Amino acid sequence: MSKRYGSTVALASLDLEIERGEVFGLLGPNGSGKTTFIRLLSGYLLPTDGRLEICGCDAVEQSLEARRRIGYVPEAAPVYGYMRVREFLAFMARLRGLGERAVREAVDRVIAALALEPVADRPTRTLSRGFRQRTAIAQALVHDPELLILDEPANGLDPRQIIEIRALIRGLAGRHTVLMSSHVLGEVARTADRVGILLDGRLRGVRAMADTPDLEEWFLSLA
């Protein structure tokens, strides 16, 4: 698929298949098209041409069905500041079509999974960056999606929080397919099963991390 804005090509003829249950890392410098790709997958943008299929659903023709299968955490980890954490998660669960009983269960489940108990009844505007990021991930997981999309999940976090988020993402592998983008080599190397390198809107290569002993060297050879 491709994405163009007028004459500007943001993504050119990207051809990629992500396996069910894997953690796929998308690596590239700022402005390489990572966020465009992530936004295409999330349904926030639509491809200019080509075809995008999410868990068997065409992202254009079956847009709502495709979106039901996705959990998405934008780079800024947005939350509604006037809502409490529990309220925000319940709103996102209802928005994804969960019934009232399922909402309560799902909210309790993600609060426990992301260790949000200490802040569950606090307004989201008062959260630290780490708790805010976890809340954003919790909203993406609240409806138990097949595909979890994380745009720069370690951005702005301190070392301890980065380690926690990394462990969390690894823990999700298998049950969920995870696509994460990052411009930090080490972050992708430690978290992903496979990695794709995106440069100037083009996917330059895809490799399994097990076959890539030196990610830095491979990246430099492509850049």
Partner 1 sequence: MRMLGVLLRKELLATFGSPIGYTVAAVFLLVLGYTFSLTLFATKVANLIYILHQMYVLTILLVPALTMRAFAEERRNDTLELLLTAPVGEIWIVVAKFLAVYGLVLAMYCGAFVYVGVLETYGTPDWGPIGSGYLALICHAALIVAIGLLMSSLTENQVVAAALTLGASLMLWFADSVAYLLPAPVDSVVLNLSLIGHFRPMVTGSVFVSDIGYFVSGTLLALFLTTRRLAER
Residue 31 C-beta: closest distance to partner 1, Å: 18
Spatial distance between the Cα atoms of 34 and 26, rounded to a whole number of angstroms: 7
Q: Total residues contacting partner 1 (rule CB under 8 A)?
A: 28
Within positions 172 to 211, which residues make up the interface with partner 1, using CB under 8 A?
none
Burial of 206 (0-12, 13-18, 19+ CB in 10 A): middle
Instruction: Report how far apart, in Å, the C-alpha atoms of 185 and of each of 36, 143, 168, 197 are.
Output: 19, 30, 18, 10
Spatial distance between the Cα atoms of 8 and 138, rounded to a whole number of angstroms: 35
Options 23, 54, 70, 162; binder of partner 1; rule CB under 8 A: 70
Q: Which of 105, 103, 130, 104 is nearest to 119 (CA)?
A: 130
Spatial distance between the Cα atoms of 198 and 60, rounded to a whole number of angstroms: 23
Our CB check for partner 1 shows the closer of 53 and 65 to be 65
Options 21, 74, 156, 205; binder of partner 1; rule CB under 8 A: 74
Choose one: 7-15, 71-79, 200-208, 210-218; the region binding partner 1 (CB under 8 A).
71-79
By CB under 8 A, tell whether 80 contacts partner 1. Answer: yes
Options 13, 56, 58, 76; binder of partner 1; rule CB under 8 A: 76
Residue 82 C-beta: closest distance to partner 1, Å: 5
Choose one: 12-20, 66-74, 152-160, 201-209; the region binding partner 1 (CB under 8 A).
66-74
CA 198 vs. chain centroid, Å, equals 16
Other beta carbons within 10 angstroms of residue 64's beta carbon come to: 9
Options 4, 67, 122, 170; binder of partner 1; rule CB under 8 A: 67
Options 53, 65, 146, 200; binder of partner 1; rule CB under 8 A: 65
Task: With H, G, I as helix, E, B as strand and everything else as coil, classify residue 202.
Answer: strand
Options 43, 153, 196, 201; binder of partner 1; rule CB under 8 A: 43
CA 175 vs. chain centroid, Å, equals 15
Within positions 90 to 149, which residues make up the interface with partner 1, using CB under 8 A?
91-92, 94-97, 139
Q: Are 110 and 19 in contact (CB under 8 A)?
A: no
Binding site for partner 1 (CB under 8 A): 39, 42-46, 64-65, 67-68, 70, 72, 74-76, 78-83, 91-92, 94-97, 139
